[in-house]
Structure 1
């Protein structure tokens, strides 16, 4: 028999369950109310598992937010990647802003928590910057860098407003603004806005 019991995980999905549970706990009560005990309970794991897999709460939160950013970046990329024309890419941007799949209420809560935590945590700030860069790279599949930056700001900002307005967005208005930004491409600089 090769290997020791320690080398063979008896619960290979435990680390991922802990990260998912951390995001659930954050979504329900915020970072400030997140504890090891709540995460362990939500994940259905012994409390000691958290210290086995993570170097404290900061590490656990940083990895949970990295998981969130990665999941959302992949959805963002898939939505834009499938567009075959500029018009389809504009429609994909409108879908990211108005549609049900991206930036759900839970996602928005987690994004707000991540942004706030990034102000005080270098690892999460790095994750946030990387997420913004990945978003712009996805938009750059169809748009110039200046337009990609402007559209990314709309994709980030409009769902935030929707969340606090507690009303659906006017899809026609959003589509008109997205189209106007895309058509302003010759007038937008390609460097950072």
Structure 2
């Protein structure tokens, strides 16, 4: 298993400048500044409940809107995850979590498969949560799954309050990801695939 399970990257485009550090074996410490307060709150929850040490500093074109900032942050965190996982030797690979937040309930299922896919089934009945466009919640998860090369199913089981639904989704991903990246002692350092590669 990759013993140095951390990554540092700097991703720059004409639309965003993003610095990310990620430690898969952290304690949930977060230093997040994307310029979008509610998005910062969600990424802080991702770190806390995933036991990830995560720093994300973004300078994005928020004078246009939040789309590039949110999507590109998903891409950067996904790239950092891939870097930190290395060849995925010795990990559990699969993770799942069902997380409530008051009336909201969301389920996340993760497979570190090397095959990027997002299955998304959640709805928001208003356009914004704070300064975050609600349609960008799905965009973040899609960008993260695609660049992280993982399969992610996110399903809203219940809920009406948009804040609660979004937060339950991020926390469910955090717990599922925590399970998937954990070392499995029974794997004895092998790659969890019949193909021998992920």
Q: TM-score when scaled to structure 1?
A: 0.29
Give the structure with the larger strand fraction: 2
Q: TM-score when scaled to structure 2?
A: 0.28
Structure showing greater relative contact order (alpha-carbon pairs closer than 8 Å, 6 or more residues apart): 2
